[in-house]
């Protein structure tokens, strides 16, 4: 009798189609992290399924009454040994029945692995084709002097930019030093030294060096190459001072006060919090050029760092449509470069907010 009850229950009450089995098992194996966890997940599902009848309150009694044609049942008489025998028999038959499902899952898992590898390979290839644009901030020199930026590694010149002519030695400005492909940058051992050579009258040369400061894999700034400039006349000094004061007033001091350039101890608690959060986020981006990490690992690191940074941003400025979820707030272009999804750049806005917290003169 119990055999018939068991068969009827799984043919009616607890029946599953191959598609249902596929969906259930595929979800479980893809949630597992290792092969052992996959096997255990399938084993657990099969065991739970064949034992389900014994935990389905009243199921055995109801089916027994239906098969007998009357309401008197003797369910209590079914011993555990008999139940375990039925579990094993049904599980054995179930495994044979589900072979096509297992085969389909294995095939699709292999296809997904191949697909993931292709995506990762393409993403890596796109990344390696990025051009790192290295910009250099130069001030000083004399009108008509020239400057050139070079990238060095172990006393060897790796790359050099174009030669620029100085027009106004009193205004610090960025020059487009040069660009280099990420793959070449890695090939040369990820050099960090930038040398700027100023050539003046009679071909007199002055060279200064500094370290690369990474903002992102494609945007590298090297700041503060300062050369001596000719002394201004008293009248020119007054004009220069007045122009700076006017410019500072118009821009709420933001051009002359930066949390990145100011003495850390002079910053407010708000500014320190924003600066530290920004540096941590930028440091996560820098890992794109670290060969110890895969692109997938860095994507995860950046996403987590952004989520933390967003908590700070949200405290001080309107974040609009942004959520703090990296995948929702950023989009990747065809080369895999991540950009903020909306026109409102919260990463710039939060730094501007911090810069504006300096007291006015």
Q: pLDDT tens digits, the chain, 361 residues: what are they?
A: 677 888 888 888 888 899 999 999 999 998 888 888 989 999 999 999 999 888 877 776 777 667 665 554 454 456 788 888 888 999 999 999 999 999 998 888 888 877 777 777 777 777 777 777 777 878 788 888 888 888 888 888 888 888 888 877 766 666 766 778 878 888 888 888 888 888 988 888 888 888 776 545 555 666 567 777 666 555 545 544 554 455 444 444 333 457 776 778 888 999 999 999 998 988 887 675 555 666 677 788 888 999 999 999 999 999 999 999 998 998 876 545 677 888 888 988 998 899 888 875 4
Whose CA is closest to 138, among 149, 123, 129, 127?
149
C-alpha–C-alpha distance, residues 172 and 324, integer Å: 36
Hunting for tokens 């410019």 — which residue is that? 247
Give the pairing of strands 131-139 and 219-226: parallel
Task: Yes or no: say if 259 and 350 are a contact pair by the CB < 8 Å rule.
Answer: no
Q: Which residues make up the CATH 2.60.40.2990 domain(s) of the chain?
A: 131-230
Helical (H) or strand (E) element with 314: helix 295-316
Q: Which residue has the tokens 């040398």?
A: 195
Output the CATH code of domain 131-230.
2.60.40.2990
Q: What is the pLDDT of residue 253?
A: 39
CA nearest neighbour of 310 among 269, 343, 280: 280
Residue 200: per-residue pLDDT? 86
Instruction: Specify the pLDDT at position 224.
Output: 61
Residue 333: predicted pLDDT:
60
pTM for this entry: 0.39
Closest by CA position to 159, among listed 138, 129, 189: 189
How far does Cα 136 stand from its chain's mean position?
27
> What does the block give as tokens for 116?
């993931």
pLDDT at 160: 85
Contact criterion met (CB below 8 Å) for 276 and 349: no
Element (H, E) at 243: helix 234-250
**pLDDT score for 98:** 92
3-state secondary structure 204-263: CEEEEEEECEEEECCEEEEEEEECCCCCCCHHHHHHHHHHHHHHHHHCCCCCCCCCCCCC
| pLDDT score at 99 | 92
Query: What's phi and psi for 348, nearest 5 deg?
Result: -80, -40
65 vs 58: CA distance, rounded Å: 11
């Amino acid at each position: 009798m119990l055999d018939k009850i068991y068969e009827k229950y799984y043919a009616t009450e607890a029946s599953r189609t191959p598609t249902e089995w596929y969906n259930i098992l595929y979800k479980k194996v893809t949630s597992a992290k290792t092969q052992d966890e996959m096997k255990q997940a399938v084993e657990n599902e099969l065991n739970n399924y064949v034992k389900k009848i014994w935990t389905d309150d009243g199921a055995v009694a109801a089916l027994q009454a239906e098969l007998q044609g009357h309401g008197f049942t003797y369910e209590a008489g079914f011993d555990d040994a008999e139940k375990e025998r039925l579990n094993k028999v049904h599980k054995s038959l179930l495994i044979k029945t589900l072979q096509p499902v297992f085969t389909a899952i294995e095939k699709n898992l292999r296809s997904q692995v191949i697909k993931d590898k292709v995506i990762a390979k393409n993403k890596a290839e796109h990344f390696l084709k990025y051009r790192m644009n290295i910009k250099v901030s130069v001030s000083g020199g004399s009108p008509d002097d020239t400057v050139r930026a070079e990238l060095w590694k172990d006393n060897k010149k790796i790359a050099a930019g174009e030669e620029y002519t100085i027009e106004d030695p009193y205004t610090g400005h960025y020059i487009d030093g040069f660009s280099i492909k990420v793959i070449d940058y890695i090939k040369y051992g990820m050099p960090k030294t930038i040398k700027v050579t100023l050539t003046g009258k009679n071909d007199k040369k002055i060279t200064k060096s500094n370290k690369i400061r990474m903002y992102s894999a494609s945007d590298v700034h090297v700041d503060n190459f300062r050369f001596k400039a000719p002394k201004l006349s008293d009248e020119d000094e007054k004009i220069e001072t007045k122009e700076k004061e006017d410019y500072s007033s118009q821009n709420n001091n933001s051009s002359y006060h930066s949390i990145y350039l100011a003495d850390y101890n002079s910053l407010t608690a708000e500014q320190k919090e924003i600066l530290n959060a920004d540096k941590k986020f930028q440091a996560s981006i820098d890992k794109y050029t670290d060969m110890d990490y895969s692109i997938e690992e860095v994507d995860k690191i950046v996403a987590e760092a952004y989520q933390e940074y967003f908590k700070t941003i949200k405290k001080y400025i309107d974040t609009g449509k942004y959520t703090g979820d990296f995948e929702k707030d950023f989009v990747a272009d065809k080369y895999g470069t991540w950009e903020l999804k909306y026109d409102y750049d919260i990463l710039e806005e939060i730094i501007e907010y911090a810069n504006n917290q300096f007291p006015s003169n």
